């Protein structure tokens, strides 16, 4: 019940509301004042009429004492005629016990008004001898009241019209016109025109409101200017960001390895084509997939992961939720088609992970070839009669010693490989000289020197060495020939030669002595 009047008042325009308020505010006081004034005037006129009515009845009662006492109606007739001259008097009757209709005078019955009757006894020497009755009409009073009411209405109407005109003019100049200007200016502001000044020279409250509007316009203009500048900066930053995103995408696309970034919830947010190649789709098609979903797609392709069959997503340590934030070593996996991949995971600061999947098939094949080559090399060197060693040229360490080195130096091969190379020589200067020759010529043939066994004994050797690249290291491979037996044989040959020489000398001396004897 209350909502409808409230909605009506809220939807009513300000012009109509002000007009209604002015009309009601002026008409109600004017009407109330007029009604109070009219009621007061009517009461005064009725009071005056009642007073005149009582006076006329009293005068008539006094004037009828003698005529009634003397029973002479003609004597009282002039008084009645005189009273009937009052237009308010409509009828006069005089009666006595002896003559009930002593005198009766009546005027024509008026068309308007109310008849008021008043009676009074007629006394003579204290004795009631008759009665007088006077009827008066209120038509004249009502005519006076009607005239007064017309005057009141005319004055009220003039007051109402004058007040409405004055107040409407004031409202139009002081309220409606400024409000209309404020509405137009607000529509101008709403349209985005902020460079046009809002001029207000009024000193009243609406003028202050208009100046506040202008200050708001200036603030909005400055704010929009700052926002526009900020938007330009943001657009530039967005362009720069997009440029960096494209650079990043180009960078990860240029990576031959599979590259994928997951957020903290385990969903893929970006990857390159190499990463998506195993799935047979584009990189964009994988964005938004979870780690478990992607692992499930590839689980049927894996033959082994870290040397064992693949497990379920929650049991696979590398992708399990429990290990999502943990630091884990890279893991190797082999597909059923024979390809090998090394998968490494690197946690991000936001709780996600960066996965790098590297195709190591070539490395695995190289490792296999290297193992086979090393096996062949070991088979050859271990079967070779000459002990062989490999030493780093720029470092004091042995890289490889053949089994024959153990019997040559009188110690296990595992101990010999841990010796510094200079400890193999009886004179360390021999090693320095040998190294200088290798650096100069690249190879040395049959370099003779003395080496030292584990028990400290020495023996002569002949070293043949060549400078090589051993698994990326500048190294020397050399064979060591023990000259102990050769030196012993040389000494024996020399001794035999000396014995033969002495024998030949003795034979010659015997022949000489035999010749002399003959």
Give the pLDDT of residue 30. 72
For 99-145, what is each residue's pLDDT tens digit? Answer: 888 888 888 766 577 888 888 898 888 888 889 898 888 777 777 77
**Chain center to CA of 123:** 111
Percentage, residues of the chain above pLDDT 70 = 91
Helix (H, G, I), strand (E, B) or coil at 1: coil
Range among 31-45, 63-77, 107-121 with highest mean pLDDT value: 63-77
Backbone angles phi, psi at 117, to 5 degrees: -110, 140
Residue 257 has pLDDT above 70, yes or no: yes
Residues 359-388 have a mean pLDDT of 78
Q: In this model, does residue 507 exceed pLDDT 80? A: no
Residues whose CB is less than 8 angstroms from the CB of residue 321 and which lie 6 or more positions away in sequence, other chains included? 266, 314
Could you tell me which residue, 224 or 206, shows the higher pLDDT?
A: 224
Q: Are 266 and 321 in contact (CB under 8 A)?
A: yes
pLDDT at 296: 83
Q: Is the pLDDT of residue 518 over 60?
A: no
CA distances from 238 to 224, 244, 245, 390 (A): 20, 10, 10, 60
- CA-to-CA distance for 256 and 272, rounded, in angstroms? 9
Domains contained in the chain, CATH given = 14-150 (3.30.450), 255-359 (3.30.450.20), 367-482 (3.30.450.20)
Mean pLDDT in residue range 11-38: 70
Whether 424 shows a pLDDT value over 60: the answer reads yes
* Number of alpha helices (DSSP H) and beta strands (DSSP E) in the chain: 15, 15
Of 67, 75, 62, nearest in space to 123 by CA: 62
How many whole angstroms separate alpha carbon 162 and alpha carbon 156?
10
Give the DSSP letter of residue 290. Answer: B
In 3D, which of 206, 160, 158, 154 has the Cα closest to residue 183? 206
In the beta sheet, which residues pair with residue 478? 389, 465
- Model confidence pLDDT, tens digit, residues 321-330: 767 777 778 8
Question: Is the pLDDT at 202 greater than 80, yes or no?
Answer: no
Please report the pLDDT score of residue 402 as a whole number.
Answer: 84
Backbone angles phi, psi at 479, to 5 degrees: -110, 140
Return the pLDDT at 267: 92
Asked if the model's pLDDT at residue 24 lies above 80, the reply is no
Mean pLDDT score, 341-364:
88
Mean pLDDT of 224-236: 89
Name the one residue in this structure whose structure tokens are 């360490």: 397
Query: Between helices 177-190 and 205-254, what is the axis angle to 10°?
Result: 10
């Amino acid at each position: 019940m209350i909502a409808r009047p409230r909605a009506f008042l809220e939807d009513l325009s300000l012009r109509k509301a002000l007009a209604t308020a002015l009309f009601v505010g002026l008409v109600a006081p004017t009407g109330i004042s007029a009604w109070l004034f009219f009621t007061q005037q009517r009461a005064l006129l009725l009071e005056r009429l009642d007073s005149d009515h009582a006076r006329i009845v009293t005068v008539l009662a006094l004037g009828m004492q003698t005529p009634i006492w003397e029973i002479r109606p003609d004597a009282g007739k002039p008084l009645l005629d005189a009273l009937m001259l009052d237009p308010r008097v409509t009828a006069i009757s005089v009666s006595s016990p002896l003559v009930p209709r002593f005198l009766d005078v009546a005027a024509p019955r008026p068309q308007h008004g109310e008849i008021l009757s008043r009676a009074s006894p007629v006394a003579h020497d204290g004795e009631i001898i008759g009665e007088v009755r006077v009827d008066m009409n209120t038509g004249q009073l009502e005519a006076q009241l009607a005239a007064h009411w017309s005057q009141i209405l005319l004055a009220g109407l003039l007051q109402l019209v004058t007040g409405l005109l004055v107040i409407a003019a004031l409202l139009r100049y002081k309220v409606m016109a400024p409000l209309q200007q404020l509405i137009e200016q607000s529509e101008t502001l709403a349209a985005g025109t902020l460079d046009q000044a809002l001029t207000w020279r009024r000193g009243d409250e609406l003028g202050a409101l208009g100046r506040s509007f202008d200050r708001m316009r200036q603030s909005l203009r400055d704010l929009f200017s700052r926002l526009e500048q900020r938007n330009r900066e943001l657009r530039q930053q967005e362009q720069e960001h997009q440029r960096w995103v494209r650079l990043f995408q180009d960078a990860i696309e240029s990576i031959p390895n599979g590259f994928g970034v997951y957020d903290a919830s385990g969903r893929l947010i970006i990857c390159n084509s190499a990463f998506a190649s195993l799935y047979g789709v584009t990189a964009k098609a994988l964005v938004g997939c979870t780690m478990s979903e992607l692992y499930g797609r590839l689980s049927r392709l894996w033959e082994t992961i870290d040397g064992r069959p693949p497990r379920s997503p929650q049991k696979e340590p590398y992708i399990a939720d429990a290990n999502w934030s943990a630091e884990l070593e890279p893991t190797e996996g082999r597909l059923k088609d024979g390809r090998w991949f090394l998968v490494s995971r690197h946690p991000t600061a936001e709780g996600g992970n960066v996965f790098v999947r590297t195709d190591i098939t070539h490395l695995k094949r190289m490792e296999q070839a290297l193992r086979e080559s090393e096996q062949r090399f070991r088979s050859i060197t271990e079967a070779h009669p000459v002990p062989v060693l490999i030493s780093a040229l720029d470092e004091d360490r042995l890289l490889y010693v053949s089994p024959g080195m153990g019997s040559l130096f009188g110690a296990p091969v595992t101990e010999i490989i841990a010796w510094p190379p200079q400890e193999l020589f009886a004179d360390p200067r021999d090693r320095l000289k040998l190294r200088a020759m290798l650096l100069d010529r690249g190879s040395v043939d049959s370099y003779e020197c003395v080496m030292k066994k584990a028990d400290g004994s020495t023996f002569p050797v002949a070293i043949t060495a060549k400078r090589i690249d051993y698994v990326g290291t500048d190294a020397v491979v050399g064979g060591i020939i023990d000259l102990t037996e050769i030196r012993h044989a040389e000494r024996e040959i020399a001794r035999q030669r000396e014995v033969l020489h002495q024998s030949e000398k003795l034979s010659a001396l015997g022949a000489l002595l035999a010749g002399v004897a003959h």
